[in-house]
Structure 1
């Protein structure tokens, strides 16, 4: 009885499935980052307007 070698890295088919998968974690924009940047932009605009009125 002959045994096939056990490849710890898996088969080529398994690797191709892994490589073709879309990353599940980074599917969309990072919402806390977007909200944080929007808040910073509003604070900067309000600051500039306040300085122009002085």
Structure 2
């Protein structure tokens, strides 16, 4: 190993270039939407509340 080894993670310019690369933007665009998950949780909550109300009032 060379005596003047430079840690690449310590270089701010290289890190910024990595973060601004098109590959990182493509990875972020591939993240699936959470909207169906939240909609499903909302529907399940409404069903549970309606079931409790029906059992209590019925």
Residue-by-residue CA offset, 1:3-44 (whole Å, 9 max, x unaligned):
xxxxxxxxx53xx315xx575126xx6000000000000000
Unmatched runs of 5 consecutive residues or more in structure 1: 1-11
Unmatched runs of 5 consecutive residues or more in structure 2: 1-7, 9-13
How many residues of Structure 1 are paired with residues of Structure 2 in the alignment? Answer: 37
Select the structure with the greater relative contact order (CA < 8 A; seq sep ≥ 6).
2
**Cα-Cα RMSD:** 2.4
TM-score by length of structure 1 reads 0.53
Residue 35, structure 1, aligned to residue 44, structure 2: no
Q: Return the structure number with greater helix share.
A: 2
TM-score by length of structure 2 reads 0.50
Moved over 2 A (4+): none
